[in-house]
């Protein structure tokens, strides 16, 4: 099952990349540009056929795909063709160059929508920077005592629960502490812990459809803090109600809004991961050398395929789909970076030319014309070299010391 999962995830990657190239081809043809080749894979041709001016086929190395659009730049050898891409308006070229990433975004959006309906998405009520539990609605579960230290069960030495003594009941929703509104458990803790032991606190709760105000006198207990220190804090002897789910399923209509919110969170996480790439490189070298692999280090298509294999082996199809979503969002965003030879590099140059021409026209100066791609070749080769080295590094780390969902 693991091998099947690896092969299956590698297949969905190949399909995604092929659809990326199909996005370029389809929009180019729709605008009247000349497309001469569309192939899945690289290397020797296994099978192909020609329809109109385009040759379609499959090559022997299934590591991606490519499409040949005639005259992408004025310096191309086929740039003299009347249907060369560079001759078209910048907005049409922009759509063609961004169509590949748009395909990835569509695939991710559909997958998130399906996940929302059939497996569920993380409960937005649990979105808290410190702990999902702290983001839960403040629905209380009254404890019989206030435990001290790191204990989880009551002992005869623990003080009786002040919440129970004050009349709080399971299922009460905490609305305010001493007049300060609270909407999640983290805010409730922030209001309760600074109280002095023995200081009476006024708590407003919602019980059923009615609001009630109760007077609670917190007890002082020793608690271990997140930094490892121990200090005395106020506690009232309540816990979280276990009724708030970590994942929520949605209907087809409600799933649209929930999917958009989840996609926005994932896009933000993707940009954050891109920013952290340079500082994660030393950890990759350490992992290759035998150190424990940091799960936050970058991962290659090899590594994500291995994770896909584990997901299938354990029957975690929701994780398999989540990996597919993460892959497509990352590739879609990465391809739009303003660097050659990425699609974003061509987009940047196209709009640079357009803006520069507009500025020169306003200054009554001659149009400086097109950017000379040959002058950018050293920079392009440098980017290719860096990306190639980074890919080799991540693949090596994924083979020698892979990240595991375990």
Instruction: Quick: pLDDT tens for 202-233.
Output: 999 999 888 989 998 888 877 766 555 677 77
Which residues of the chain are in CATH 2.30.42.10 domains? Answer: 130-240
Q: What stretch of H or E contains 12?
A: helix 2-31
Q: What stretch of H or E contains 202?
A: strand 201-207
Residue 42 burial (CB count, 10 A): 13
Query: pTM here?
Result: 0.75
- Distance between CA atoms of 248 and 256, rounded to whole angstroms? 13
Tell me whether strands 238-240 and 140-142 are parallel, antiparallel or unpaired. Answer: antiparallel
Give the pLDDT confidence score for residue 245 in this predicted structure: 67
- Distance between CA atoms of 373 and 380, rounded to whole angstroms? 9
- Distance between CA atoms of 38 and 9, rounded to whole angstroms? 23
Q: Does residue 313 have an active-site annotation?
A: no
Residue the block writes with tokens 């399906």: 114
Q: Which of 21, 190, 272, 310 is catalytic?
A: 21
Is the per-residue pLDDT at 127 higher than 80? no
- Distance between CA atoms of 230 and 58, rounded to whole angstroms? 65
CATH no. of 130-240 = 2.30.42.10
3-class SS at 234?
Answer: strand
Pick the more confident residue, 126 or 319.
319
Q: How far is CA 234 from the centre of its chain?
A: 38
Residue the block writes with tokens 């020797």: 44
226, burial (CB in 10 Å: exposed 0-12, middle 13-18, buried 19+)? exposed
- Are the beta carbons of 1 and 313 closer than 8 angstroms? yes
Banded pLDDT at 91 (limits 50, 70, 90): very high
Per-residue DSSP letter, 269: H
Tell me whether strands 173-177 and 238-240 are parallel, antiparallel or unpaired. Answer: unpaired
Give the pLDDT confidence score for residue 129 in this predicted structure: 46
Instruction: Quick: pLDDT tens for 277-311.
Output: 888 899 999 999 989 898 889 999 999 999 999 99
Banded pLDDT at 131 (limits 50, 70, 90): low
- Ordered DSSP codes for 60-78: EEEEEEEEEETTSSTTSTT
Most distant CA atoms of the chain, gap in Å: 90
- Ordered DSSP codes for 339-378: -TTSHHHHHHHHHHHHHHHHHHHHTT--------GGGGHH
Cα–Cα separations (whole angstroms), residue 355 to 10, 358, 376: 41, 5, 19
Which has the closest alpha carbon to 8: 324, 300, 394, 322?
324
């Amino acid at each position: 099952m693991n091998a099947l999962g690896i092969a299956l995830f590698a297949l969905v990657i190949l399909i995604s990349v092929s659809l990326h190239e199909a996005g370029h081809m389809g929009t180019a043809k729709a605008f009247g540009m000349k497309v001469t080749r569309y192939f899945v894979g690289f290397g020797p041709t296994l099978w192909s056929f020609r329809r109109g001016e385009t040759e379609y086929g499959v090559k022997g190395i299934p590591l991606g795909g490519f499409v040949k659009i005639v005259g992408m730049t004025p310096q191309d050898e086929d740039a003299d063709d009347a249907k060369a891409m560079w001759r078209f308006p910048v907005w049409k070229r922009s759509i063609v160059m961004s169509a590949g990433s748009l395909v990835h975004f569509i695939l991710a959006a559909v997958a998130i929508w399906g996940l929302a309906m059939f497996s569920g998405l993380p409960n937005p009520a649990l979105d808290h920077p410190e702990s999902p539990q702290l983001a839960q609605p403040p629905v209380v579960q009254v404890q019989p005592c206030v435990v001290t230290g790191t204990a989880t069960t009551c002992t005869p030495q623990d003080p009786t629960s002040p919440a129970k003594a004050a009349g709080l009941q399971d299922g009460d929703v905490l609305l305010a502490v001493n007049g300060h509104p609270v909407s999640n458990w983290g805010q409730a803790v922030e209001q309760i812990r600074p109280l002095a032991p023995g200081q009476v606190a006024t708590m407003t709760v919602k019980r059923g459809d009615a609001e009630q105000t109760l007077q609670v006198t917190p007890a002082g207990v020793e608690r271990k803090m997140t930094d490892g220190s121990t200090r005395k804090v106020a506690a009232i002897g309540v816990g979280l109600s276990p009724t708030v789910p970590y994942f929520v399923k949605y209907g087809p209509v409600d799933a649209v809004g929930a999917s958009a919110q989840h996609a926005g969170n994932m896009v933000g996480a993707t940009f954050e991961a891109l920013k952290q790439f340079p500082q994660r490189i030393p950890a990759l070298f350490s992992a290759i050398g035998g150190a424990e692999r940091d799960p936050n280090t970058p991962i290659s298509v090899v590594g994500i395929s291995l994770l896909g294999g584990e997901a299938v082996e354990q029957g975690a199809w929701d994780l398999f789909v989540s990996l597919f979503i993460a892959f497509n969002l990352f590739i879609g965003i990465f391809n739009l970076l303003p660097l050659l030879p990425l699609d974003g590099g061509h987009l940047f140059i196209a709009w640079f030319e357009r803006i520069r021409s507009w500025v020169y026209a306003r200054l009554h100066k001659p149009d400086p014309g097109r950017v000379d791609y040959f002058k950018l070749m050293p920079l392009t080769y440098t980017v290719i070299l860096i990306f190639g080295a980074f890919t080799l590094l991540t693949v090596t780390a994924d083979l020698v010391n892979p990240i595991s969902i375990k």
